[in-house]
Amino acid sequence: MMRRFAAIVVGAVTLLAGSPAHAQSAKPYDHKDPYKSGCGTSARVVKSAKITSRVNGEVGTIKLMWSGRCKTNWIEVKTGTSMTGTINVYTRDGRHDAFRFKRGNGGRHWGNMLWANNMCAWGSVSVQWNGGRGGQNGSGTTPKACK
């Protein structure tokens, strides 16, 4: 009888730990395009930084964007048109979105949003061109924006 009770308790704990209530819940607009969703139309820059290369110096700008209407943050970058890279946005509660961009679009790229009402958010980008050889790569990180 005691073994059966222990097995039931272990099974219940396993189910509870794996239940969706314990999984990190998705927030409104998470991982969505800010311009396709309409959130980008009223956005503003809250933090910005340079994208730098140890060989080439400044190679672009990274901006942390905020939509007061949608309560979201995302990252926008302006780089050379031949650059490719990865845009990351993070929130204090541990959520993260990564977006890979290809060359083109006039060097203007943005990642997907994360809902970040009343919490810190920040972002980073890594870029490369000509295959990244010979130091042809760079990175940038915004300061945290906390509200």
Count CA atoms closer than 13 A to 122's CA, side-chain side.
Answer: 13
Question: What CATH topology corresponds to 29-141?
Answer: Immunoglobulin-like (2.60.40)
Exposure pattern of 40-68 as b/e (b: 16+ CB <10 Å)? beebeebbebebebeeeeebbbbbbbbbe
Q: How far is CA 124 from the centre of its chain?
A: 8
pTM over 0.75: yes
User: Do residues 121 and 145 touch, judged by C-beta distance below 8 A?
Assistant: yes
Name residue 78's amino acid.
K
What is the residue-level pLDDT of the chain in tens, covering all 147 positions?
444 444 444 444 343 344 333 345 678 899 999 999 999 998 999 999 999 999 999 999 999 999 999 999 999 999 999 999 999 999 999 999 999 999 999 999 999 999 999 999 999 999 999 988 888 999 999 999 997
Domain edges within the chain: 29-141
Indicate the helix (H) or strand (E) that contains 29: none
